[in-house]
Amino acid sequence: MNYKIAVVPGDGIGPEVVEQALRVLDKIGEKYNHTFEYTYVDMGGCSIDKFGVPITDEGIEICKQSDSVLLGA
């Protein structure tokens, strides 16, 4: 099966936690023959720095259209 996952690393320790979670998902994919398509979305301070808002409308739409959202809060 193929799954679309929006990956929102967030700020602080979020990116490190999300990185490890993605490693786990990749192993699950290998073992159970799943494919994960990751799309990264900026949120929080990094989004404010880049775009001036906590999350863009495009980022919200990517999350809505995904099968799941991995949020590193």
Q: What is the DSSP string of the chain?
A: -EEEEEEE--STTHHHHHHHHHHHHHHHHHHHT-EEEEEE---THHHHHHHSSSS-HHHHHHHHHSSEEEE--
Q: What angle do CA 39, 41, 42 make, to 5 degrees?
A: 155
Give yes or no for residue 12 having a pLDDT over 90: no
Average pLDDT, the chain: 96
Mean pLDDT of 21-36: 97
pLDDT of 22 > 90? The answer is yes
Q: Note the pTM of the prediction, 2 decimals.
A: 0.92
Summarize the chain as % helix, strand, coil (round to 5).
50, 25, 30
